[in-house]
Structure 1
Amino acid sequence: MNIRFKIMSTLLAAIRADLRRPHAFAHERVGFIAAGLAAAHDELLILARDYRPVRDEDYLRDQSVGAMISAEAIRGARQWAMNERVAIFHVHMHGGRGVPGFSGVDNRENARFVPNFVSVAPHAVHGAIVLSDTAAFGQVWLDRKSPQPFITRFAEVGMPIRNWRAA
């Protein structure tokens, strides 16, 4: 399956700016991207529409990870998916240049909570994205049982348009 993710450069810049903000105790910030979907044959197009940061009070103290968020933060994002009938993508940032990758902790935690989005909002795919300063990398859950493919290509729509392969 060819999975493409498109995002406006203004939205991507706002997300990166938010994720760079310091937190009182968490080492990184987290947010959620809402997206619309278009599919045909073996193609899936994900169109980023909106972003919501995790509120400061929804971070939990946990020294074993860069950021741990509360069940309330995840519940709010799941409610957003159900109410607005959107795909939801958990997003955080590793910084640096080039295409980033998920850490072992990212892989473990994504596998624990992203399938819950599929359960409560099965009308859409859901997933996780990690950003660098210049690119992104992501994975999609099509349902609870299928393999979770990686996003094949990202496009930042603005002046200029930027494309990169991520899988």
Structure 2
Amino acid sequence: MKTKFREGLFEEVIESLKRPHPFAFERVGYFLGEIKEGVLLLDEWMEFEDFLYEENEEVGARIGGEGMTMLMEKAFSSKKSFFHTHLHDFQDEPYFSSVDMRSLLEVTPSLFDFTETCPHGAILIGRKKSRLVWWDQKQCLSKNEQLINYGLGPRRNYEE
């Protein structure tokens, strides 16, 4: 799936995710967007304030109940596609861990309750590329996956 970001949004997201958190190992958020003429256009960012994170030693960051309620309310009101996003700044071409995938499969199906016709998934930002995974239906049986040419490095867009 061809993917585009609103001008300046990718950089805004990186700055948001790089901020230290008082207790979470990492920060998370959601890209929001729509498919227009076969292109996924990501045009909005939803971040979570510090108090919405829940202390947890099993994962790098966990959003508590209030934050999850905000996410579902946003999904209901916007009718957009949602892509959970976090950094793997230790990988050039990042891969989702088994913990990442388990967490995605806990949350992603609920997003389809509000926007049945939109894909939902995740973007994992690495040093040179980012990995995009998405599902087209609530059951999340068939995963789609691809690398996109955006990363943390100074060039950001690594298209050849």
Q: Which of the residues 10, 34, 37 maps onto 1:36?
A: 34
Name which structure has the greater RCO, CA cutoff 8 Å, separation 6+: 1
Task: From the superposition, tell whether residues 139 and 102 of structure 1 become closer, same or farther in structure 2 (CA, over 3 Å).
Answer: same
Taking the aligned partners of 1:105 and 1:49, their CA distance within structure 2 comes to 27
The number of equivalent residue pairs is 155
RMSD of equivalent CA atoms = 2.1
Matches of residues 1-167 of structure 1 in structure 2 within 5 Å?
3-8=1-6, 10-38=8-36, 44-145=38-139, 146-150=141-145, 152-154=146-148, 162-163=158-159
- With over 3 angstroms needed to count, the CA separation of the structure-2 counterparts of 1:162 and 1:135, relative to structure 1, is same
Structure 1: gaps of 5 or more residues: none
Secondary structure of the residue aligned to 1:49 is strand
Q: Residue deviations 1:112-162, cap 9 Å, x none?
A: 111110122213111111111332102112012341211x35255xx9954
**Whole-Å Cα distance in 2 between the matches of residues 123 and 53 of structure 1?**
24
TM-score by length of 1: 0.83
Question: Which amino acid in 1 is paired with 2:29?
Answer: G
Relative to structure 1, the CA distance from residue 59 to residue 87 in structure 2 (aligned partners, 3 Å threshold; closer, same or farther) is same
SS in 2 for 1:144: coil
Q: CA deviation at 1:16?
A: 0.7
The 3 A distance-change label for structure 1 pair 123 and 78 is farther
| Bigger share in strand | 1
Q: What amino acid is aligned across from residue 138 of structure 1 in structure 2?
A: L
